Structure 1
Amino acid sequence: MAENPVMPTEVSARIGAFDRFAEAASRVASRAWFFCFCVLLVVLWAPSIVLLRDIDTWQLIINTLTTIITFLMVALLQNSQTRADQAVQHKLNAIADMLSDLAREDGLEDDARELRRAVGLEEHESTTHNADTSSEGR
């Protein structure tokens, strides 16, 4: 298995426990019913000022809860987004590599270099570059 996978087939299919949890949390948090639940919590919290009588305590409770929940959700959602971005980049690398190899075969080396630069695929990341270089030396 490659340390820095280039092709989608080189990416491990194993997902850790935290990644599975982050993915599930992301799915839940992106649903309409979750938003409605959050709105309902705020609506239920608002009249609780009658019970607490102290406006500072009342505000402190909601501010503390929302800060903690926001902090945790940002961490979970960032994990999911980073993994999604990496998956897209691996797929782009594979497509660009294939198109670049086809362009080389058709004599379109300048177009191949431009395509590789456009998606950030370095020459050393090519799956066929090493084979091309070794066959040129013969």
Structure 2
Amino acid sequence: MNPSEIPSNDSFFGRFAERITKFSGSTAAFVGAAGTVVVWAATGPLFHYSETWQLVINTGTTIITFLMVFLIQRAQNKDSLVLHLKLNELIAATRGASNRLINAQDFSEKEIATLHNFYCRLVELAKQDADLGKTHSVEEAEDNHSEKLAAHEE
């Protein structure tokens, strides 16, 4: 997702969505929703549990759920983008880290599977290393492992 695809909090929609998202996760929102259900249930006998009475709660919850899906997705997109930016900063700033992983979220599934296999191989090589604090690349791990095997064979 491009940063330009996320509405700015300077826009009316950005401010509105941010406020609704924050409110919907609050205790007050939960109490309000629970109270609405209690009031609705209490009015059941008054309306003889009619189809219209049932339709009111069904329609209300469907509309709210439908709209909340989009607000939740918007918040998730923003959080995900921010997390990726923070991780990219750490990768870019860390000596020895592979810059190939910057923007890994944009990789194809095949590229992600290739990277996953790469790190699985690194884990296997690390398991063979007695020094748990040592970190290295796959190439360094393979060289280190080969050196250890050669030393043991002598």
Instruction: Tell me the TM-score normalised to structure 2 length.
Output: 0.56
Deviation string 1:35-79 (CA, Å, 9 cap, x unpaired) is 011111110111222332352111111100000011111111211
Q: Secondary structure at the match of 2:70?
A: helix
Q: 2-side partners of 1:47 and 1:94: how far apart?
A: 54
Is 1:67 the equivalent of 2:62?
A: yes
Q: Write out per-residue CA displacement over residues 82-135 of structure 1, whole angstroms, 9 at most, x where no aligned residue.
A: 111101111111110111xx22xxxxxxxx33x74387288xxxxxxxxxxxxx
2:11 matched to which residue of 1? 16
Distance 1:44 1:121, change over 3 A: closer
2:104 aligned with 1:120, yes or no? yes
TM-score (norm. length: structure 1) = 0.62
| Shift of residue 30, structure 1, vs aligned partner | 0.8
Instruction: Give ranges in structure 2 of 5+ residues lacking alignment.
Output: 107-154
Alignment partners' CA distance in 1, 2:82 and 2:103: 14
Shift of the 83–69 alpha-carbon distance from structure 1 to 2, 3 Å rule, reads same
Q: Which of 75, 81, 91 is equivalent to 1:80?
A: 75
Higher-Rg member (1/2): 2
In the alignment, which residue of structure 2 is the partner of 1:125?
Answer: none
Please tell me whether the aligned partners of residues 52 and 58 of structure 1 are also in contact (alpha carbons under 8 angstroms). Answer: yes
Q: Show structure 1 runs of 5+ residues with no match.
A: 6-12, 104-111, 123-138
Report percent identity of matched pairs.
37
Q: 1:92 to 1:15 in 2, by over 3 A?
A: farther
> Partners in 2 of 1:121 and 1:45 — Cα distance?
45
Is 2:19 aligned against 1:35? Answer: no
How far did residue 15 of structure 1 move? 4.0
Query: What secondary structure sits across from 1:52 in the alignment?
Result: coil
Q: Which has the higher contact order (CA 8 A, sep 6+)?
A: 1
Show the counterpart of 2:52: 57
The size of the alignment, in residue pairs, is 101
The CA RMSD measured in Å over matched residues stands at 2.5
Name the SS for the 2:60 alignment partner.
helix
Name the CA shift for 1:14/1:29 in 2 (closer, same or farther; >3 Å).
Answer: closer
